[in-house]
Amino acid sequence: MAFAPVPRASVSDHVFGQLRDAIVSGRYRPEETLPGERELAAAFEVNRHAVREALRRLQQLGLVRVSQGGATRVLDWRVHAGLDLALSLTQSGDVLPVETLVRDMLEMRACVGTDAARLCAERGDPAATAAVVRAVEEYAALAPDLPRMAEANIAMWRLIVSGSGNTAYLLAFNSLVAGTLAVGEVPPDGRAAELLDVAGHRRLAAAIAAGQGAAAAGHARALLTAPVTTPATPSGREARA
């Protein structure tokens, strides 16, 4: 396979990116062996250290396995990779070859957020739940400025997920909000139905503050499953209060 020589700046990044894309796109199949370090260094016109660093990063993402004797075998990303792969691709402007990935990530977001809201209501201490209530009012005060509301919305959900006491949910949340939901970009006006529902957010905060787990989960799911649209929201649209 022919690879394009890379510029001298960020050499390892370019090697890593080209190999990653070749694996994710299926040009290298699972269990196929990558060329050796010397061959890759010659193909990319870089030194072997850059190739070695790129292979190390591929292994960390679950894309390859370095076998005894130095052979590097391709792994099936659908079995071995995690959300870090989606983040890596987003940061480079690429996406996974899955047509429904944005939808899939939004569904995951809804699942995590719904249960985190329930747990925050049931486990959160008074200081944590009071912080959620304040964050909702700070978010509400920004209506109808969608970009600023979106930023405040992330801060609010971070408090809810932290208040849930679930470290796995917090790590998943970090992945979901990095690089704009990890895949592509869902602009704030595409989430207008969710972001402009100030009343829904206040109901969520009230349920959390009252320790009502089931109600908090219901309000969270209603918000996080609101329709995602592509047209821009007309300026001057009022928030639902």
**Predicted model pTM:** 0.78
pLDDT value at 179 more than 60: no
In this prediction, residue 214 carries a pLDDT of 98
Q: What is the pLDDT of residues 127-171, one digit of tens each?
A: 999 999 999 999 999 999 999 999 999 999 999 999 999 999 998
Mean pLDDT, residues 105-125 taken together: 94
Q: Which tens digit of pLDDT belongs to each residue from 40-92?
A: 999 999 999 999 999 999 999 999 998 777 789 999 999 999 888 877 776 66
Q: What band does 238 get if pLDDT is binned at 50, 70 and 90?
A: very low
Q: Are 110 and 194 in contact (CB under 8 A)?
A: no
Q: What is the pLDDT of residue 93?
A: 66
- Please say whether the beta carbons of 80 and 30 come within 8 A: no
Give, to the nearest 10 degrees, the angle between helix 101-123 and helix 167-177. Answer: 140
Query: Nearest-CA neighbor of 89 among 179, 187, 185?
Result: 179
Q: Which of residues 146 and 175 earns the better pLDDT score?
A: 146
The two structure tokens encoding residue 4? 């394009």
* Closest of 197, 204, 219 to residue 144, by C-alpha: 197
DSSP state of 70: S
Q: Which helix (H) or strand (E) holds 74?
A: strand 72-74
Helix (H) / strand (E) containing 54: helix 48-60
Q: Rounded to whole angstroms, what are the CA distances from 49 to 54, 94, 180, 237?
A: 9, 25, 32, 55
Q: Which among 10-24, 98-112, 204-218 has the top mean pLDDT?
A: 204-218
pLDDT score, position 184: 42
Higher pLDDT: 238 or 11? It is: 11
Q: What is the pLDDT of residue 140?
A: 97
Helices (H) and strands (E) in the chain — how many of each?
A: 12, 2
Instruction: Please give the share of the chain, as a percent, with pLDDT higher than 90.
Output: 63
- Give the pLDDT band of residue 102 (cuts 50, 70, 90): confident
SS3 72: strand
108-117 residue pLDDT tens:
889 999 999 9
The pLDDT value recorded for residue 4 is 64
Rounded to a whole number of angstroms, the distance between the first and last alpha carbons of the chain is 59
Partners of 157 in beta bridges: none
Percent above pLDDT 70 for the chain:
85
